[in-house]
Amino acid sequence: MTQVSNPLLPGCYPDPSVCRVGDWFYLVSSTFEYLPGLPVMRSRDLVTWETIGHVIDRSGMLDYDGLGSSGGLFAPTIRFHDGMFWVVCTLVDRASQPSESPRGNFLVTAADPAGPWSDPIWLDVDGIDPSIAFGSDGRVWLHGTRLVPEAEAEWFHQTQVWVREYSPTAQALIGPEHIVWTGAVRGAVWAEGPHLYEIDGRWYLLAAEGGTEFHHAVAVARSDSPTGPFEGNKGNPILTHRHLGRTGVDVIGPGHADLVQARDGSWWALLLAMRAPDRRHYPLGRETFLVPVTWEDGWPVFAPGAGRVPATVEVPWAHEPMAADSWQPDDRAPGIVGPGDARWTTPRALPAEVAQADADGWILPASAATLAEPTTATFVGVRQQHFDVDCTVSIDASGLAEGETAGFAIRQSEDDHVTAGFTRRGSGFTLAVTHRRAGTDIALHTAQVASGGSVGVRARGYRYELVHERTGHGAQVLAEVDARELDAVSTGGFLGVWFGVYATSHGAEPRGTARADRFAYVPA
């Protein structure tokens, strides 16, 4: 037996969806405003995953301009049928002034999960969290969730799961819509993330409820037909940690599960949950966990005998364990994340559209936009995946024009982030650390320096220390920030924290560039 540590995918990999094709498992997860969007990962053992591509990986597939933080791509589902991979997802616009570009639910297909994926087919249906199921009779069923109309709702944020047939030939929803579920627990908000499965002649509906934070849960129902009526499991919710209380466990909010069967006949669930040492705050975001599943009396049992997300899971056919604090750095130097690494992402643009890969770093043209605006700015970053990690980068700011800034950023959103940046002032530079909190900039450190140097963060639990190091000098701690002030509980939204590099002209006409070399991410 191989003991595998949870989470499988540390850092912000929420809303996992999984399918198996032959010997391979394929997984996608939400990416919100970051591009490339919807990483496609594969694994032979459900344990060791590699990114082989992205579903949204080319300019023009979707219009991201103006999308607010934690908008964008919500809750994808991946399935395989008739020689094709299918992904359905929602592009959500949380901006105050919605765009005229297409938004809502869409479908894409690909013969190869590494891509290319088709252009989106927009689905004429409201709501979020779409999923797709292929029946043994050849019929295709799309389903998702939406708010119950206010005049009909029995409680605040009551939602309903809809099911409707889809015609691949017509590329459209056909026939009547069926409302099949409003939640297992009366009064529970957001019955969402639904998935339908046809198993041994029955149809099973898996859904999340309780909101995507502390009270998150997994519920299940079954029927003889994908259009219902559905019978809820008397044991619902079949998995939650909310009943353990704030002192019970440091993994909170398990939910949004997807089922998959391995070649040996065993069943598994991949789901999201959050590591929260204080039982409240999770700056790493919602992560992907693995839970064993068995079947009793015609119902799935999650984590049998334990009833909670296990810290370690026995996977008998796993090739090698993946620990929760694993990291696969570039081969050129310990911890160096080269510009070709698949984890680099950018809000609302592809990394290559805002920066140029060069040797072991990035050339960063200053953008007029700053990190405080819901538009395309010069920023490339990677997810924080460890509570204890040193992340630093060497910044050459000599190519900046007067008043332009480049440096290191800890990004949660437009309204909440921390920057350690070098701003050209005549022949020298100002090095400033700024914490933008709830839309207000708070200066934490300002000093005159002759040149750039290495800047970054020393993260230890909930403590972020912003550091600066020059050649011949030791690392200097410039300021300290509480990571709990940058997580989704404090700031709103759905994301974890990103570490990255940026350059801006602060609204002026951009003229200069900076270099960011040897971006190092070293778990402590």
When mean pLDDT is compared across 429-443, 451-465, 470-484, the lowest value belongs to 470-484
Cα–Cα distances in Å, from 351 out to 59, 63, 459, 477? 11, 15, 25, 29
The answer to whether residue 312 sits within a structural domain is no
Question: Is the CB of residue 2 less than 8 Å from the CB of residue 315?
Answer: yes
The answer to whether residue 102 sits within a structural domain is yes
Q: Which of 45, 57, 129, 192 is catalytic?
A: 192
Q: Which of 15, 213, 287, 416 is catalytic?
A: 15
Q: 289 and 187 in one domain?
A: yes
Question: Is the CB of residue 346 less than 8 Å from the CB of residue 33?
Answer: no
pLDDT exceeds cutoff 90 at 454: yes
CATH of the domain at 24: 2.115.10.20
Active site residue 192: yes
Contacts of 322 (CB under 8 A, 6+ apart): 4, 5, 8, 47, 48, 49
Q: 488 and 390 in one domain?
A: yes
> Residue 96: pLDDT band by 50, 70, 90 thresholds?
low
The DSSP bridge partners found for residue 379 are: 502
Per-chain mean pLDDT for the chain: 94
pLDDT tens digits, 298-336? 999 999 999 999 999 999 888 754 444 444 443 435 689
Q: 171 and 255 in one domain?
A: yes
CATH of the domain at 508: 2.60.120.200
Active site residue 50: no
pTM more than 0.85: yes
The residue out of 304, 330, 358 marking a domain boundary is 304
The answer to whether residue 452 sits within a structural domain is yes
Q: 297 and 436 in one domain?
A: no
Domain count, the chain: 2
State how far the Cα of 41 lies from the Cα of 52, in Å rounded to an integer.
Answer: 6
Q: 412 and 293 in one domain?
A: no
Closest Cα partner for 129 from 197, 202, 195, 211? 195
Q: 356 and 264 in one domain?
A: no
Structural domain harbouring 444: 346-523
